[in-house]
Structure 1
């Protein structure tokens, strides 16, 4: 159980670090862009999508690799075991959409729940960041 806790913690820590670095770098780049502010915000949105996608792929790699180790569990249902199926499942979990066509079994369920919580927090963090950037430079016209 300690291994489950450590591996899940490592994946979450890496996702949070990726997110922090993207938001930090965007906060430095957005004011320097030689564009109208509304286009800077659009660039920020695309940067956020890239950051979230990298984080989702990180969790997907966990879903792909962890079942190859003993006692981690597996995914079943409409699932072939491919990396792209893991990415699809990760997108569904990260966004808390949870369609239910792929079902986790065993210890991997803990990672799925933690991904949903992490996704919710990181998406909210992004929304707050973009709102702040919009308020900071928004035209009053």
Structure 2
């Protein structure tokens, strides 16, 4: 139990750090870009989506490793054990969409729960960031 808690803590800390750094960088970059405000917003959206994609892939890689390391549990259902299956599961879990076609068993379930919570928090953080960026430029002439 200590091992899974440590792994979960480290991977969540890593993705939160990546997200923080991505939004910080975007907050410094966007005001310096001399284009129409609506296009700056689009750059912010694309940058945030890139950050989320990196974070989802990190979770997918950890799922892949945990699935193939004996003792953490496994995935059942429409799952072949391939890396892309783990990334797909990570996408659906991170976004809290959860189709239910893949079911985790064993200790790997704890990471599944924390991925959902982390995704919810980071997606909300991104929405707040983009709202503030849009608010700063709202009504400016193009």
- TM-score normalised to the size of structure 1? 0.97
2:6 maps to: 6
After TM superposition, the runs of 4+ consecutive aligned structure 1 residues lying more than 4 A away are: none
Alpha-carbon distance between aligned partners in 2 of 1:70 and 1:82, rounded to the nearest angstrom: 16
Residues 1-141 of structure 1: pairs in structure 2 closer than 5 A: 1-139=1-139
Secondary structure of the structure 2 residue equivalent to 1:115: helix
Alpha-carbon distance between aligned partners in 1 of 2:55 and 2:71, rounded to the nearest angstrom: 24
Count of residue pairs brought into register by the alignment? 141
Alpha-carbon distance between aligned partners in 2 of 1:9 and 1:17, rounded to the nearest angstrom: 12
**Unpaired runs of at least 5, structure 1:** none
- The Cα RMSD (Å) is 1.0
Alpha-carbon distance between aligned partners in 1 of 2:86 and 2:101, rounded to the nearest angstrom: 12
Which whole-Å deviations, capped at 9, do the CAs of 1:32-62 have from their partners, x for residues lacking one?
A: 0011111000000000110000000000001
Shift of 1:69: 2.2
Does the CA-based 8 Å contact 2:67-2:81 persist in structure 1? no
Shift of 1:71: 1.5
**Unpaired runs of at least 5, structure 2:** none
- TM-score normalised to the size of structure 2? 0.96
